[in-house]
């Protein structure tokens, strides 16, 4: 799997699957504000062949659009990423088609059938490759100054500037929730900390990139000193993180918040917003996860207010 440092050191180019104006423009704004000479979105696969009008700074630009995935735009000096903005039902075939030609990407769509998510994971395995793919239902991947893949961090120039998305730092943001990924970015930057990178695994039951693998990305990144993690009830991802700590495979400071303790007030655990966010047994409750994380060396908050306080104390 490509490392975060390799992303920083590379010329990153993006092929968008689907023409979503605000998201694509936000990537171009990020590129311009980062001081790049040209935008990273080089083509859009959509319903017609021609060009789509966008802006790079104050200059109007034309991005080629295609009906089918182009095969003649690749060079050996760049890393090619995909940004899949198509509907959930079209995600499987479009992702499978573009995977061999890219090193990874983001699947933005919600409501991707779970079987399709598993098939995408299987396709990556069959390619004998560990491509860096986040989603489904992900707001994206962000490496400050190098790559903005999705609406992560905001879609307006003001959000990009105020969120300090172009200024590298030492805090990594990891979360399944897109909304909370952006909230954690805001909390970190308001506390005066720049980001090393940020990503949303996606809120579906079977994310292509697991939280465990995302933590290993942070561990291998020399710029990352701290990880801010927002987890939820349901699933057993946090126990894999505990195992990483026990085995000495993750050594960096982690501040974590596990949401969903309110579920204990109900006779049966309710289903929260994300597909995985339901505790089907005691060890998958938010309280049980918090209890498991603390002795493993995680700084775990008992409330979101306390989580913010812990971030503010980082030096």
Distance of CA 31 to the CA centre of its chain: 18
Rounded Cα gap, residues 207 and 236, in angstroms: 13
* Core vs surface per residue 219-231: b (16+ CB within 10 A) or e: eebebbbbbbbbb
60, β-bridge pairs: 55
Closest CA to 114 of 280, 270, 275, 272: 275
Rounded Cα gap, residues 264 and 121, in angstroms: 33
Q: Is residue 17 within 8 Å of 9, Cβ to Cβ?
A: no
Rounded Cα gap, residues 49 and 65, in angstroms: 5
Label residue 41 left, alpha or beta by phi (over 0 means left) and psi (-120 to 50 means alpha). Answer: beta
Rounded Cα gap, residues 266 and 285, in angstroms: 12
Helix (H) or strand (E) segment spanning residue 190? helix 178-190
Q: Is residue 215 within 8 Å of 172, Cβ to Cβ?
A: no
Strand, coil or helix: what is 288? helix
Helix (H) or strand (E) segment spanning residue 43? strand 41-45
Closest CA to 25 of 45, 54, 52, 53: 54
| Annotated catalytic residue 274 | yes
Catalytic residue among 20, 116, 193, 274: 274
Q: Catalytic site residues?
A: 274
């Amino acid at each position: 799997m490509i490392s975060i440092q390799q992303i920083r050191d590379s010329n990153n180019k993006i092929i968008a699957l689907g023409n979503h104006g605000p998201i694509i423009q936000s990537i171009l704004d990020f590129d311009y504000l980062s001081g790049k000479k040209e935008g990273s979105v080089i083509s859009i696969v959509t319903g017609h062949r021609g060009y789509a009008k966008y802006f790079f700074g104050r200059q109007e630009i034309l991005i080629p659009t295609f009906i089918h995935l182009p095969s003649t735009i690749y060079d050996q000096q760049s890393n090619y990423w995909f940004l899949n903005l198509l509907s959930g039902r079209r995600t499987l075939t479009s992702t499978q088609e573009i995977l061999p030609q890219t090193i990874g990407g983001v699947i933005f769509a919600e409501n991707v059938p779970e079987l399709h998510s598993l098939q995408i994971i299987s396709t990556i395995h069959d390619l004998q490759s560990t491509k860096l793919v986040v989603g489904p239902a992900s707001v994206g991947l962000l490496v400050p100054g190098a790559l903005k893949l999705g609406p992560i961090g905001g879609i307006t120039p003001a959000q990009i500037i105020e969120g300090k998305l172009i200024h590298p730092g030492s805090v990594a943001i990891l979360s399944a929730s897109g909304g909370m990924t952006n909230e954690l970015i805001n909390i970190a930057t308001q506390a005066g900390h720049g980001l090393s990178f940020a990503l949303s695994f996606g809120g579906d039951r079977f994310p292509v990139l697991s939280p465990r693998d995302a933590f290993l990305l942070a561990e291998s990144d020399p710029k990352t000193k701290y990880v801010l993690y927002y987890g939820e009830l349901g699933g057993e991802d946090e126990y894999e993180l505990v195992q990483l700590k026990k085995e000495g495979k993750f050594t960096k400071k982690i501040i974590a918040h596990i949401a969903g303790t309110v579920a204990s007030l109900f006779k049966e655990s309710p289903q929260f917003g994300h597909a995985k966010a339901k505790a089907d047994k005691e060890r998958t409750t938010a309280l049980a996860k918090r209890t498991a994380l603390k002795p493993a060396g995680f700084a775990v908050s008992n409330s979101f207010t306390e989580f913010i306080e812990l971030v503010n104390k980082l030096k």
